[in-house]
Homo-oligomer: A and B are copies of this chain.
Amino acid sequence: MSADLHIDGLRLLAKIEQLGAIGALPGGGVSRLAFTKEDGLGRAQVREWMTELGLAVRMDALGNVIGRRAGEADHLPAVMTGSHIDTVATGGKYDGNLGVLAGLEVIETLNDRGITTLRPLEVGFFSNEEGSRFAPDMMGALVYMGDMSLADACASVDNDGVSVGEALASIDQVGDAQIPGPTPHAFVELHIEQGPILDKERLDIGAVTAVQGISWQRFTFYGVSNHAGTCPMSMRHDAGYVAAEVTRKVRQMTRHSPDSVGTVGVINMHPNLVNVVPNRVEMTVDLRHVDEAELVEAEAVLLAFVAATCEAEGVTFRTDRLARFQPHTFSPAVTGLIAEHAAELGLSHRLMSSGAGHDAQIIGRKCPAGMIFVPSVDGISHNIKEHTEPHHLIAGADVLLRTMVSLANQPAGGTQAGDL
């Protein structure tokens, strides 16, 4: 690949600022919850840019928007990039948006240079990735890939009783493109890390090997309320003590594997009085692992520990599953390409997993896919203080450009993205 193939960094930064101005919050950050008026304004801006770039824009009935640039062999499946432009209520201007706008910048760079790839290129934004207003998250990608029905998606309601279908109609974002959409040859997504690893390790690029699977459970422990002074320790059935032991176990379980995390985020004590032994405690355990078998094993180990600890304390328990997603492993070929192009550009990089969910893991169920991470300062995201240094935004878009060109020049029949 030509050594001087680079995107236009200032042009990318300018577009990020322009889109970030729509739904901008005082003090920084942005609020464009899915299918709100602000989301509608953001969508109109990005579609306008797509049209200006000469892309053929299509939209489906869930508001997923894809802009297409023809290839030399335009009948071949496209190489797609994209992400989302909806945000959480108090989000940043990089989360999701970077991936979409870097995709447009890739197109514009190729346009400027008169480069046509063998395969067509597509840049998309998928509806309601955040899931902050409507469940589930990654809704648009799920429907685009046929993993969720349009009817089910449109029936989802927000806290005010408004459905996705109603909200989409209200911002005039109901199209007629095919559902499910055509499966791409390969999919690559550029995203901010939303975690601290690259920033702490002072690295430029993460080549993402996998998205962690997620297990959310709620445990409720039922003990016996007793007086803190008059009840001897040997006669206690302390639901809070069990919760403490489980919290400690969750930490211990993650010691042996850098690919696993475990978090106790919620503890509700009852009656929550200084001199009363708690008789009921609800706690949540968030376990994540890149390997499904390991995640299943971790759940089993935790359950056995909970049961044994409860029995020893004379406490009963129930467990409720709050959420469960299997891990997704990206195409090693695509991940390898990303690392290779980062190296070629002289960028420091590492392989890493993602602790957060992304559209790429849904698209990647049916085609080779990969993700490029750039650092989040202090790991902060979903926050108006979310920040990524401009040179990292630009570096990530350069890696995206080269990875897409490489993938888009893969011939049919011979070497496939997944075989690289």
Interface residues of A (CB under 8 A from B): 193-197, 200, 212, 214, 216, 226-233, 235, 238, 240-241, 243-245, 247-248, 251, 254-255, 258, 260-269, 272-278, 284, 286, 288, 322, 354-356, 379, 381-382
Contacts and interface: CB of A to CB of B under 8 A. Distances in A.
B272 A265 contact: yes
A322 B273 CA distance: 12
B275 A354 contact: no
A286 B276 CA distance: 9
Contacts of A261: 228-229, 231-233
- Residue of A241, A254, A260 with most partner-chain B CB within 10 A: A241
A194 B230 contact: yes
A229 B212 contact: yes
A90 to B, nearest CB: 13
Contact of A355 (B227, B254, B278, B382): B227
A333 to B, nearest CB: 25
B266 A272 contact: yes
A403 to B, nearest CB: 22
A230 B356 contact: yes
Contacts of A381: 227, 230
Contact of A248 (B212, B245, B268): B245
Contact of A233 (B240, B241, B251, B286): B251
B230 A263 contact: no
A376 to B, nearest CB: 8
A229 B238 CA distance: 30
A268 B272 CA distance: 8
A235 B196 contact: yes
B265 A278 contact: yes
Given A194-B230, A216-B274, A229-B355, 18 more contacts: A216-B275, A228-B355, A229-B261, A230-B354, A230-B355, A230-B356, A233-B251, A233-B255, A233-B262, A238-B263, A240-B264, A241-B248, A241-B251, A243-B247, A244-B247, A244-B264, A263-B275, A265-B277
A158 to B, nearest CB: 19
- Residue of A231, A258, A275 with most partner-chain B CB within 10 A: A275
A339 B227 CA distance: 26
A230 B247 CA distance: 19
Contacts of A232: 195-197, 258, 261
A288 to B, nearest CB: 5
A22 to B, nearest CB: 25
10 closest pairs, A vs B, by CB? A195-B230, A229-B355, A244-B247, A228-B263, A230-B355, A244-B244, A274-B284, A228-B286, A265-B274, A233-B254
Contacts of A193: 230
A267 B267 contact: yes
A266 to B, nearest CB: 5
B235 A355 contact: no
Contacts of A228: 261, 263, 265, 286, 288, 355
Nearest to A258: B232
A92 to B, nearest CB: 13
Contacts of A272: 265-268
Contacts of A288: 228-229
Given A196-B232, A229-B261, A247-B240, A275 B286 contact: yes
Nearest to A194: B230
- Residue of A266, A288, A381 with most partner-chain B CB within 10 A: A266
Nearest to A383: B225
29 contacts: A195-B230, A196-B232, A197-B232, A200-B235, A216-B275, A228-B261, A228-B288, A230-B355, A230-B356, A231-B355, A232-B261, A233-B254, A233-B255, A233-B260, A233-B262, A238-B251, A240-B264, A241-B247, A244-B244, A244-B247, A248-B248, A263-B274, A263-B276, A265-B275, A265-B278, A266-B269, A266-B272, A266-B274, A268-B272
